[in-house]
Amino acid sequence: MNSALGQGLILLSLATATVGCILGFAAGRSGSAAGLRWTRWLAGTYATSLILANLVMEYALLTHDFTVKYVDMVGSTSSPTYITIVSLWSSLEGSILFWGMILAIYIWGFLATTRQGHERMTPYTLATVLAVGTFFSFLIAGPADPFSAVQPRPDSMHTGPNPLLQNHWLMIIHPPALYLGYVGMTIPFGMGVSALLRGELGASWMALTRSWMLVPFGFLTAGVVLGGWWAYEVLGWGGYWAWDPVENASFLPWLTAAAFLHAAMLEERRGLLKAWTVVLLLVTFALTILGTFMTRSGVFNSVHSFTQSAIGPTFLVFLAVILVISVLLVGLRMHLLSDEGSLGSPLSRDAAFIVNNLLFAGFTFVVLVGTVFPLLAEAVRDIKLSVGAPFFNQLSVPIGLTIVFLMGVGPALPWGRTSGKEAASLLWVPLTTSLILGALALALGMRQLWPVVTLIVSLFAALVALRDMVTPVSALMRRRGLPPLAAASLAFRRGRRRYGGQIVHIGVALVVVSIAVSSSYQVIEEGMVPKGQSLTIADYELRFEESRSFREPHRDVLEAQFTVLQNGREVGSLGPRLNRYSGQMNPIGTPAVLSTARQDLYLSLMSVAKDGQAAGLRAFINPMVSWLWVGATVMVLGVLIAAWPRRRQKPATKAAA
């Protein structure tokens, strides 16, 4: 029953998406109000059918209906309930189904926010979104069908989802956050296609599209960082980012989306980079499809990717169609994409934003080439190549630091023309302060070049952001005599988008400093530690007390208990683990981490002697890692503030005569 019901709902979604797509394009061309109403109804039906299909799959998973293909693949009667629920996105077919549900949620959000107004933009936007929905419904109905009826395998073969996905609670929130970022890019993409088809590329379209881009950008930011946190807490190598192909796949659209958000501001305020902004919007969506292909085709060897599948070529065809249509649309509307303004001065916010965008493009190119080139080399010349972290670090660190520096220069300068004297007066206080603090860091023992440069540049950007937030408050206090809290509240309400952007910049500064310090000053020690003896790392002693084995519902656990002493004083205990899952030959480690504001003590258990009298341990001291998670949280908070919709003004009522 679950198989038939699920397949019926997917076929309904495919039919409504196809018809709605055709009708939407027709309504956009003819301006038919009735056609728009039908398109909206079909879009709502499509979204509802996909949400219901996901609920049917969840019901099948929770009731262990092994006659459903996907449940037979990832289900297990021994898995905890929360693992059973999140196994929906633990493998290829379920993840594509979940992709469809996220798109359905965004469609309902778009329908709800466009009930009044935007009649000229909505038909083409919905038609484009439903075209994307048609593709994914086709995948779910055909090559990635999770609802096929099967003969259940023996119960001993029902081992649950991928063990790496069962090993930490972050897998509950990391994939949904990433999906909300990836899939959400469909709505701005649809708006971009609509604007190009209608030839209406004014400031009002850009403002609305930018607002819609902020939502998936915030989720993508959270998803990328949560992926790094998952790697840090699960993989046991002491790091959080390895330039893995699938990590890069999520970072690429983040870079172009960030570039778009800055370019859109320049177009709104100065009428510059109109064509470039549209291209960034289209490329961002194309990169999300490329990222989906990289994760789900199995062509890249990664702990984040799914196994080999047959849908890879289908994704490549879809990506090619998107690129061809995008190029054609931009080419046909190029006469409408000429800049309306001009660059007033190289010492201006305009110029800083332009250079900033060029650097984002360069960063994207470096990551894309380093990620895709090995695959192309193998496909064309049958040569296996590997592009490692040194390549990415050597090229991306200078580009990234220059972007952070311009993140301070841009907001410090006004729009339009600026004299050299005025620019110097605006920049010298934060720049001098950051240089003094950098010199202080040198005096305190920070000797490596790149961390010192990173600290100076990040402090400069953060100081500019703080000044930009304080200046309107102090101005209101002087002009209106308002108390500080009232002035801050009024300034925030008036410039919420600006405040959100500056909060994001402060978060970026925290993240960049954390990455520089943690990667440059990491300390590593490893060894076999006899029971009652200690492994020393910096000012810590790690005394091995005992090992113990126990059974959890879905795994066998081997844990080693270590007492942690710092400068001879006991500060806690840590229990790194080795987890063994059914059907898995090798155990999967769970590191134990003692986090402070200054540093993390990170223990990864390598082995335990058969008699339990010794444990193989790898220990890391990772400075300032906790500030990476704090900075990312600040970034997401800033995006949320910037994206929060403005309160609608109530229409004025005429006084009674």
Total domains present in the chain: 4
User: Residue 242: which residues within 8 A CB-CB, separation 6 or more?
Assistant: 231, 389
Judge if 248 and 173 occupy the same domain.
yes
Q: End of a domain among 414, 437, 468?
A: 414
In terms of average pLDDT, the best of 489-498, 584-593, 596-605 is 596-605
Judge if 208 and 311 occupy the same domain.
yes
**Which residues is 543 bridged to in the sheet?**
534, 563
The per-residue pLDDT for range 171-202, each reduced to its tens digit, is 889 999 999 999 999 999 999 999 999 988 87
Predicted confidence at residue 298, as pLDDT, reads 58
pLDDT bucket at 651, cuts 50 / 70 / 90: very low
Q: End of a domain among 113, 140, 161?
A: 161
Average of per-residue pLDDT across 587-601:
93
Judge if 203 and 329 occupy the same domain.
yes
pLDDT bucket at 648, cuts 50 / 70 / 90: low
Q: End of a domain among 414, 431, 465?
A: 414
Is 260 a residue whose pLDDT tops 70?
yes
pLDDT bucket at 656, cuts 50 / 70 / 90: very low
Predicted confidence at residue 654, as pLDDT, reads 42
Flag whether 632 is in a domain: no
Question: Domain limits at 593?
Answer: 523-627
Judge if 215 and 107 occupy the same domain.
no
Flag whether 225 is in a domain: yes
Predicted confidence at residue 652, as pLDDT, reads 45
Is 307 a residue whose pLDDT tops 60?
no
Judge if 196 and 254 occupy the same domain.
yes
Is 206 a residue whose pLDDT tops 90?
no
What is the sign of the dihedral through the CA atoms of 527, 530, 531 and 533?
negative
Which of 87-101, 128-142, 414-428 is predicted least confidently? Answer: 414-428
Predicted confidence at residue 657, as pLDDT, reads 34
- The residue ranges of DSSP E strands in 43-130, in sequence order, are none
Predicted confidence at residue 419, as pLDDT, reads 79
Judge if 191 and 319 occupy the same domain.
yes
Judge if 138 and 180 occupy the same domain.
no
This prediction's pTM: 0.92
Q: DSSP readout, 476-514?
A: HHHHH---HHHHHHHHHHHTHHHHHHHHHHHHHHHHHHH
Judge if 118 and 250 occupy the same domain.
no
Predicted confidence at residue 297, as pLDDT, reads 62
Of 587, 585, 582, 583, which Cα lies nearest the Cα of 608? 587
Give Cα 158 distance to the centre of its chain.
Answer: 32
pLDDT bucket at 305, cuts 50 / 70 / 90: very low
Average of per-residue pLDDT across 636-653:
75
Flag whether 233 is in a domain: yes
Cα distances (Å, whole numbers) of residue 25 to 32, 123, 198: 10, 6, 11
Judge if 572 and 604 occupy the same domain.
yes
Question: What's the mean pLDDT when you consider all of the chain?
Answer: 89
Q: Is the separation of the CB atoms in 467 and 430 below 8 Å?
A: yes
Predicted confidence at residue 132, as pLDDT, reads 97
Average of per-residue pLDDT across 395-413:
93
Flag whether 307 is in a domain: yes
Judge if 202 and 143 occupy the same domain.
no
Is 655 a residue whose pLDDT tops 60?
no
The per-residue pLDDT for range 132-164, each reduced to its tens digit, is 999 999 999 998 899 999 988 887 678 888 887
153 SS3 class:
coil
The per-residue pLDDT for range 600-626, each reduced to its tens digit, is 999 999 999 998 999 999 999 999 999
Is 653 a residue whose pLDDT tops 90?
no
Flag whether 652 is in a domain: no
The per-residue pLDDT for range 426-443, each reduced to its tens digit, is 899 999 999 999 999 988
Flag whether 646 is in a domain: no
Neighbours of 381 (CB within 10 A): 9
Predicted confidence at residue 39, as pLDDT, reads 96
Judge if 484 and 610 occupy the same domain.
no
Flag whether 643 is in a domain: no
Predicted confidence at residue 378, as pLDDT, reads 67
